[in-house]
Structure 1
Amino acid sequence: MIGHELGGRYEIISRIGGGGMALVYKAHDVLLNRKVAVKVLRQQFVHDEEFIRRFRREAQSAASLSHPNVVSIYDVGQEDDVHFIVMEYVEGSNLNEIIHERAPLQPEEAVHIAAQICDALVSAHQNQIIHRDIKPHNILIGKNGRVKVTDFGIARAVTASTITQTGSVVGSVHYFSPEHAKGTSTGEKSDLYSLGIVLYQMLTGKLPFHGESPISVALKHLQETFVEPRVINSLIPQSVENVILRAMRKNPAERYASASDMLRDLETSLLPERLHEPKAVFTAIADDLDETRVMPAIRPTSAAGRQADIRPAASQDRTAAAASINGTGPVEWEDDKKRKAWWKRPVTVVIATLVIIAGLYFAVRAVTNSLDVPEVTVPYVINETEADAIKMLEEAGLVVEDPIEREYSDEVAEGYVYNQSKAKLKVKKGASIKLYVSLGSELSTMTSYVGQPIANAKEDLAALGVDDIRITTTQEFSDQEPGTILSQTPEANAQFDPKTETVHFTVSKGQETVVMPKLVTKKEAEAKVLLSQLGLVLKEANIVREASYEPEGTVIAQFPYQEGEEVGKGAEVSITVSSGLPKDAIEKKLNLQISPAQAGTTSEIKITYSDASGENKEWGTRKIKDTQRFTVKVIVAPNKDATVTVIRDNQFVNTFTVTYEDEQAPADQTIPGQGQQPTDQQPSEPATGTAGSDDATASTNDPQTTDNGPSNDGNEETQPNDH
């Protein structure tokens, strides 16, 4: 039952008690968020329709009670074969435990408790509800001292067939009223008798009647008197003893007329003027046929007998006269003989009967002695292992009742005894003892939480009783949403103990991310290697090729992630790669023959250009000692001409233009130094002209040329044009 949600509302937490008729559990009302007590009927009664019907009817009747000293009944229900009553949960102890721990109680405390019980009975009796099972076990004392009476109306559901089956009814025989013990109709005064016994036990620590069996105790309620409380405990005030004496009268007519009368007497019993009042005296009521009395023997009646009882006065005189004259005893007259004859036969019968009874008595005594079974004390085996408990009981000459009751328990380890019958009592050797063995904590079945958020799993496990400290997690990258469970231990459908098991989850922290690199201007092969190293995916279908002024194979765009963005590992990337120049673009070469500024000296030459591929692009820088030829490649388009600029020793020299319309290759251009003459016509100052015009001509001083860029003097490195 532990962990089960009864009726879809009451979550069973732990077992807190039980008797022969029902088990009581602490539960949580999930609808109203409060603690309740749930009494569950034992399985052996679930098929007794009459019992179930009366059980439910009386429980529903008791639910109508609303009193501060009565445990409230909230609900009555059934789930399959489980019949249950939901009632108020009282945090504290029952009166039976308090009596065993501290009895005898102080008169003030005992009277205070009894008055609250009596107040509850006043309310019940006004609602025509008779408890019928007032005993310390059914009296709860809260931590605030409030007394609560429980099990109202439940005792009425006990039928004759259950008296020998349930330990609760047998245990209650010490608190039965005489009319209850006889099996006759019981009323309100029966509850007052039971309350008197409870008060007696609180003040003395003892029960008024003991016996070897429930029957013998019941007979003592009917026939015997009890030891008065003040004989056992002289500290009990006479006024309080008078309350007990009146409540425990065997004749209901001699008890209090109502619970209200008894309550008033209790409330005033400790007043100073009443403490030493006279002891209560009760006069036997003539029509009390249950009272034990000596009855006269029934004698035979006849005319002769009646005549024999009447002795004439004359015969008396004659007897006296004869005695005086003769000096002897009385003379027996004829009338005397007749008078003596009537008693001879009854006396003979009585003597014969007494002889027979005596013979039977001694015969039965002899047989009883031969069959007398010795008594043994039942060992206390609670908290022992099942094997040790059985061994201890068998060594004491007792028999373990079969089957052994086994139930789940959060407090007692598996295989240990948590309850037993007749503990520490004296019983006949060979008697059977009932054992209750723990199955340990009730196991739960692990649910599969893979794919669910970790918050949901923690909430479910907390409801089962798994502390948050025993739920551990590790995180790893995955393509699942962050916080999603990837794996778990224990696995799904495994059995586990929510009170002790540690549950571990592997949780996704999302995809692993990398920083997107710059791919633009890189070669296609280089971009592929870089993406692969970072765990990013570049599919062939995601490579777009289009014409551009960038060199063929150069990445000119990347998508959808730009440089510096966080990208999840495994993400797909697209790039655009240059497939070469547009169809209407033309690549042209411009040859330049450049001399040092001064013959025989070294000059630094710097060449830049602007064309269809971009503006102010550097072709390169070189140092020369003599005239050299440089070839500069440029791209021209219908709407874009190219310009080439030469700077020597950080001084602007000239700018040359290459047009798209020129079908011929541009003519070589010459830039002479000082002291050098151009081959044809050379201006004395650097001039700006159009490549192919006659404004500037090339030098013929043994030039050295290259198609890829300027030649150096044998010591400098050549840097090629970007195209």
Structure 2
Amino acid sequence: MDTTVADPLLGALLDGRYRVRSRVAKGGMATVYTALDERLERTVALKIIHPAHSRDPQFVDRFTDEAKTIARLTHPNVVAVYDQGNHQGLPYLVMEYVRGRTLREVLAERRRLQPQEALAIMEQMLAAIAAAHRAGLVHRDVKPENVLVAEAPGDTHNLIDGVVKVADFGLARAVEASADETGSHLMATVAYVAPELVTDGHADPRTDVYSAGIVLFEMLTGRVPYEADRPVEVAWQHVDRDVPFPSRYVPGLPTAVDDLVARATRRDPGARPTDAGALLAEVQACRDDIGVELATRSRPLAQPTVVVPRVESVPQTYQSQPQQRPSWARLPGGGPAQPPARRRRAPEPSGPGGKLNELMAQINANPRTRLTVIAAMLTVGLLVAIGGYWLGVGRYTDAPDLRQYNRDQIVEMARANGFKVQFAEPKFDASVPKDKVLVQDPGPGGRILDGGTITITLSLGPEVYKVPDIAGKEYDLALVDLQAMKLTGTRADKYDDAVPPGYVVDTEPKIGTQVNPGSAVKVFVSVGPNPVKVPLLIGKQLEAAKQELSKVHIQLGRVEEVESDKPKNEVVSQSIGDGNSVTDGMVMDVQISKGPAMVTVPRVIDMQLQDARKTLEDMGFKVDSQGFGTVRQQDPQPGTAVPPGTTIRLFAFF
């Protein structure tokens, strides 16, 4: 059975121009669609505001004004606004369609980025936000969902050369202004909210600088700095705590990156860069510093390039003057000056053998010289032997075994033995418990220089994820949440009276259950109330009630006998009221009558018929009499236990 709920906007033509094609995403304030601009024959993005906001005229006016302001904001890193309109009372924006993914989707796939990639994205983000700040706009909702990344063609993993665009300028401000006028809370995403927005609701360009710093932290570490069960607790952590260094979670990150995040996320707005342009300059400087550092690590220094003066040709008459050219620039064939005459020396012995013989003769001619040379040779030999031992063996020692200790103990043990410790990025491993040593390099007993560095890789334990809370979400959006947790979803229809059709009712395994990556989660999606209703069983015999339940696939549960004046085995109550919708696996408990209490038949023989009848009827019996006068026989016999209302037959005669 096809239970897909059709979106009424799909295929609709807005203002006779924009043909809606498909839905891209649905957020808290608006839904985004792709559409074809039939007039200019280009694909655009349509952001249509939710009905809850469209009913507020103050919001609509503010939204229209903000749209006009954003449309005048022209920058290559800003998602352009082409048009705005109203469809069936719902305001909408027509924007540039960016073929790519949100930064949130990139992080869901990559988890975290390398510093060069994160800084490259930040440069383009801040360039867009700086243009808005120069125009007097404050974004107020800088987060990965509002950053679009169009990766380099042909290389889906090249983020450095990708194009980054920022969207949703002014939308949060319009919603916030409407909320303030109705006494509601400030609209903000608590994971990225600046402290001053939490305490007094004030926002200026430095607010966007703080949020951008949190986005940089998340790109570097794969997580936001603060987490809690309730959003308000996360918001107040921004007020009460300093954002930690990214290297706390990813050892080995450059110090320049830690300092950059710290400056952007200072709790005091006056201590941050004044706007996105100032932070952009710091990001560019940091990126250059990291590039120089990486280049120095990865290859030897190149020889410097020097400028060599050009050697001009000179007339022949001046070539005899060597002072006109430096010695390295003299040309052949120009009649250079002859060197001054020198006294001729006696011919030297030819070849290396002759020189060696001459040297040996000089040494042997003087005994003291001979002893000095021998001592020098022995000393040199001894130094070479000691140096060879030191370089090959002596300067090394054995690495200690740190595998059985926790992180803090490892640092203490290494320090006590005179070594340094470096923690590599932890890895998942099903066989090694979490926070235990997965790899030690060098290993226990391995060769290491005195005072050298031991690299430790800790285990993250088995790679597991919790089934996300997707109850109440539309099925297609629930699948996005599952894919972000590296899980797959399979749909199963389920009747439900309370949940609208197309929305998630439950999951199997249950929400919050830990599962391995790639696990399949059965998603139960509501198809509305079940047209089959619970039957009325009260007044029916138990066997008849069983047949009624089997017809509607309800299982009979507990059967309890109770005191009742109803006939034995007659249903007197049921646990689920009739008329309710039948659900899968429904179980019905019932109570049945034990039957009425038995009454003992009295003796009325030898009594006058009229007196006997009255006696029996007063006890609740029915009387069937024959004859007149004195009762001579009765049926049932006196002393018999019978149900109330039983008919007693009397026979009377004189």
Shared fold (TM-score, shorter chain, > 0.5): no
More helix by share: 2
* Bigger radius of gyration: 1
- What TM-score, normalized to structure 1? 0.40
- What TM-score, normalized to structure 2? 0.44
* Higher relative contact order structure (alpha carbons within 8 Å, sequence separation ≥ 6): 2
